[in-house]
Amino acid sequence: MFRSGGINQMFSAALEHHALRQETINDQDTYNQMIDSAGPDINGLVVNKSIGTYIVNNKVWFLNMQLKNLDYAMTAMGGWYYFCR
């Protein structure tokens, strides 16, 4: 924005097309197969490669990984949480 031609680039058709493509919702199973990640485990979750910034798919994937991480933590602790309730 603060360089020569920056404002023109912000309002370009190419950038608009890119933004519209990034807010597209892909089939979640297909999206999941295109992500290279490690975990969840004791080190948490590491994303090595993803296919972009597909907002809805990213949120769904991240939420699912958080649920798996919680499941991992509960299993790793031997389910003691349930006994403490």
Structure tokens at 62: 């991240």
Distances (CA, A) of 42 to 21, 37, 73, 76: 35, 14, 8, 9
* Predicted model pTM: 0.55
Q: How many CB atoms lie within 10 A of CB 79?
A: 10
Q: What pLDDT, on the 0 to 100 scale, is given for residue 41?
A: 77
- Determine which helix (DSSP H) or strand (DSSP E) holds 30, and give its type and residue range: helix 28-33
Structure tokens at 9: 């680039």
Rounded CA separation 72/67 (Å): 9
- What is the tens place of the pLDDT at every residue in 62-82? 888 888 888 887 777 776 555
